[in-house]
Structure 1
Amino acid sequence: MNLKVFLKLVEIRTKIASFTPFLLGNLYFIYNYKGFNIFNCLLLLLSLLCVDMGTTALNNYQDFLKAEKKEGYNYEQHNAIVNYNLNKRTVKKIIIILFLLAIVIGLLLYLHSDVIVLLVGLISFAIGILYTSGPVPISRTPLGELFSGLTMGFLITFLTVYIQNLNLVNLFFSLGLLKIEIQFLEIIKLFIFSLPLVLGIANIMLANNICDFSDDLVNKRYTLPIYISKKKSLQLFSYLYYLSYLSLVLAVVINILPLISLLSLLTFFIIKKNINKFKSKQSKKETFILAVKNFVILNYTTALTLILAILI
C-alpha cells in the first residue's frame, strides 16, 4: 500500500477535527498559564493522530463489511477499501498497528504525567473503538454527534491543557479512602472555551449523516437525522453554529478569551452563507465540505486572535 492510498484510507484531510482542539488547547494554556512541556505536547499529538487514523480506518472497514447498498458516491469513491480494492487482511493490520502505536505512545505520556491522563485516554480510546465497532456502533445511532463532539472537542482540549497543568484534577489516597480534587471553575471555563469545537465537530458529523440520509436508511444506520427528520436536522445544523457564537461572546465576557477574540464574530457572515448553501443542497460530494470549512473558519480565527493576544 503506497502513501496516497494509506492517507485516503485514514482520510487524512479529516484529521483537522482532532488537531484543531489540540492547537486551541495549547494556545489556551499559553494564554492563561505559565510553563510549557514540549515533550508531553508532542506525545499527545502523535497519540491523537494514531487513534484518529485508526478509528477512521476501522470505520471505513466496518462500512465496507456492513454496506448493503453497493453503489453511490459514498460507497464507491469515499470508501478507500472499495475505491482501491484493498485487501481486507492488509487493512486490518494497518488498523491494529495504528492502535498499538497509540497505546504505546499513550502509556509513555502517562509515565510522564499521572493516572488521570491514563483514565481519560482509556475512556477516549474506548469511545473511539465503540464509535465504529461492536454490536451497535455509536456512529450508527442518534448519539454519534454527541459522542464525537464531546470526545474530540472537549476531551482533547482538556487533555492538551491537563498534561501541561496537572493540578486541574488530583486523585490521591487519604486514610484508606480514594479522594479526588477537581478545580471545577477552571474546568467549566475550559468547557465554555471548547464549545465552538464541540459544536463544530458535532455539526461535521451531523452534516455527514444528513448527506447520507437515503443511504443510511438502506444500510440500516439509524443516525440522528433518521430519528428527527432531515428538516429538523438542518435546523439543528444552523442552531449549533449560532450557539457557538454565543459561547464565544460568553467566553470573552467572563475573561476566558481576550477582547480581541470578538473579531471572530465577523466570520458569521461567511458561515451563514455556507449554512444557506448546505440547507439548499445536501451532497457528500459538493456541500458536505462546507461543515468542515465552517469549523476551520471559526476556530482558526479564534486561534489567530489568541496568538495575537499572546504576542501583544
Structure 2
Amino acid sequence: MTVGQYLKLVEIKTKAASMIPFCIGTLYAVFRFQEFRLTHFLLMLISLLSFDMATTAINNYIDYKKAVKTHGYGYEVHNAIVQHKLKESTVVGVIVTLLLAAMTSGFVLFLQTDIIILLLGGLSFMVGFLYSLGPIAISRMPLGELFSGLFMGFVIIFISTYIHIDNQQLVTLFIENGYLDIHINIIEVILIFFISIPAILGIANIMLANNICDIEEDIENKRYTLPVYIGKPNALILFRCLYYASYLDLIALLLLQVNPIIPLLVLLTFIPVRKNIKLFTEKQTKAETFGLAVQNFMLTNIARIAAIGIAAMM
C-alpha cells in the first residue's frame, strides 16, 4: 500500500472534522483557564487522529463488504479498497495498527489525568466502533448526524479543554465507601457547550450532506439514513436550519465578555456560508457540491478559532 492509497483509505481530508474541535478546545483552555500542557496535548493528538483514521478505514471496509450495488454511483472510485484493489489483510492490518496507537496513547493520557478521561474516552471509542460495526451500525441509521455531531463536536472540545486544567474547575468524580460523588461546574460546562455549537452542527451537516448526496445509493444498499427517513426536501430544510443555529455561539462569546468586535468578525462568515447553502440546495452531488458542507464547517469553525485565539492574547 502506497502513502497515497493509505491517505485515501483513511480519507485524510476529512480529519479536519476532529482536528478543528481539538484546536478549539485547546485554545479555549488557554483563553478561559490560562492553562496548556504539552504532553497531554500530544497524547490526545495521537490518540484522536489515530482513532479517527481507524474508524474511517473500518467504515470503508464495512461498506466494501456489505455493498449490494457494486457499480454506478461512483462506487468504483469512492471506496479506496475498490479503487486501488487493496488486499483485505492489508486493510485489516492498518486498522489494527491505528487502533493500538489510539488506545495506547489514550491509556497513557488517562494515567496522567484522571478517571473522567478514561470514561469519556472509552465511551467515545465505543460509539466510534458502533458507528460502523454491529448488526445495525450507527452510520446506517437516522442517528448518525446526532452521534457524530455530539461526540466529534462537543465531547472532543470538552476533553481537549479538560486535559489542560485542574479537574476541580469542570468535573470531579470520587468513589468512596461505595458511594459515587460527582461535582459538575454547570456554568463552565454550559459555556463549553455553547462554544461547541458550530462544531456540533457543522459536523452533523457534513454527514447530512453526505447522506443527502448518497440517498439513492443508500436505499439500494439498505442504509436507512436520516434523509431516507424524512425525504430529501425535509433534509435540505434541516441542512439550512442547522447552519443558521450555529451562530448561536455568538451568545457564548458575549457571555465570556469577549471584545464585541470579535463576534462581529465571526458574523461576517454568514455571507459565504449562506451562499454555499443556496448552491447545495440547488444541486446535491458528491463530486460538485458536497464539498460546500466541508467549506462551511471550515469557515464557521476557523472563525471561532481565530476569535478565541485573539481573545486569549488580549
TM-score range, shorter chain: over 0.9
Q: Aligned residue for 2:244?
A: 242
1:43-72 deviation line (CA, Å, top 9, x unaligned): 001100011000000000000011111123
- CA 1:149–1:257: 2 relative to 1, 3 Å: farther
Q: Equivalent pairs: percent with the same residue?
A: 50
Within the candidate set 207, 210, 225, 2:209 is matched to 207
Q: Which residue of structure 2 aligns with residue 36 of structure 1?
A: 36
Contact 1:149 1:200 in 2 (8 A): yes
Give, in angstroms, the shift of residue 252 of structure 1.
Answer: 2.6
Q: How far 1:164 sits from its partner (Å)?
A: 1.0
What does residue 263 of structure 1 align with? Answer: 265
CA contact (8 A) 1:271 1:294 kept: yes
Q: Which residue of 2 aligns with 1:122?
A: 122
Question: Match of 2:268, SS?
Answer: helix
- 8 Å CA contact 1:5–1:84 kept in 2: the answer is yes
Q: Distance in 1 between matches of 2:82 and 2:104?
A: 30
* Residue segments in structure 1 that go unaligned for 5+ positions in a row: none
Q: Which residue in the other structure is 1:272 paired with?
A: 274
| Preserved CA contact (<8 Å) 2:107 2:118 | yes
User: What does 1:169-248 align with in structure 2 at a 5 Å threshold?
Assistant: 169-245=171-247, 247-248=248-249
Instruction: Give, in whole Å, the separation in 2 of the partners of 1:171 and 1:290.
Output: 42
Normalising by structure 2, we get a TM-score of 0.97
Q: Which shows bigger deviation, 171-180 or 280-289?
A: 171-180
Q: Which residue of 2 aligns with 1:90?
A: 90
Moved over 3 A (4+): none
State the alpha-carbon separation in 2 of the partners of residues 262 and 205 from structure 1: 28
TM-score, reference length from structure 1: 0.97
SS at match of 2:288: coil
CA drift of 1:184 comes to 1.4
Contact persistence 1:68–1:219 (CA under 8 A): yes
Q: What CA distance in whole angstroms lies between the structure 2 residues aligned with 1:13 and 1:77?
A: 16
Shift of 1:214: 0.3
Contact 2:15/2:52 (CA < 8 Å) preserved in 1?
Answer: yes
Q: Displacement of 1:89 after TM fit?
A: 1.1
Q: Verify the 8 A CA contact 1:74 1:284 in the aligned structure 2.
A: no
Q: CA deviation at 1:198?
A: 0.1
Superposition RMSD on alpha carbons, in Å?
A: 1.1
Q: 1:74 to 1:192 in 2, by over 3 A?
A: farther
Q: Residue 5 of structure 1 contacts residue 80 of structure 1 at CA under 8 Å; is this kept in 2?
A: yes
Could you tell me which residue of structure 2 aligns to residue 152 of structure 1?
152
Q: Which residue of 2 aligns with 1:290?
A: 292
Gaps of 5+ in 2: none
Instruction: Indicate the residue corresponding to 1:52 in structure 2.
Output: 52
Separation in structure 1 between the aligned mates of residue 26 and residue 80 of structure 2, nearest angstrom: 33
Partner in structure 2 of residue 164 of structure 1: 164
Q: Does 1:134 align with 2:168?
A: no
Contact 1:261 1:306 in 2 (8 A): no
Counterpart in 2 of 1:69? 69
Aligned counterparts of 2:232 and 2:47: Cα–Cα separation in 1:
36
Letter in 1 for 2:133: S
Tell me the matched-pair count.
Answer: 311
Q: Distance in 2 between matches of 1:295 and 1:306?
A: 17
Distance in 2, matches of 1:60 and 1:95, equals 11
Contact 1:110 1:117 in 2 (8 A): yes
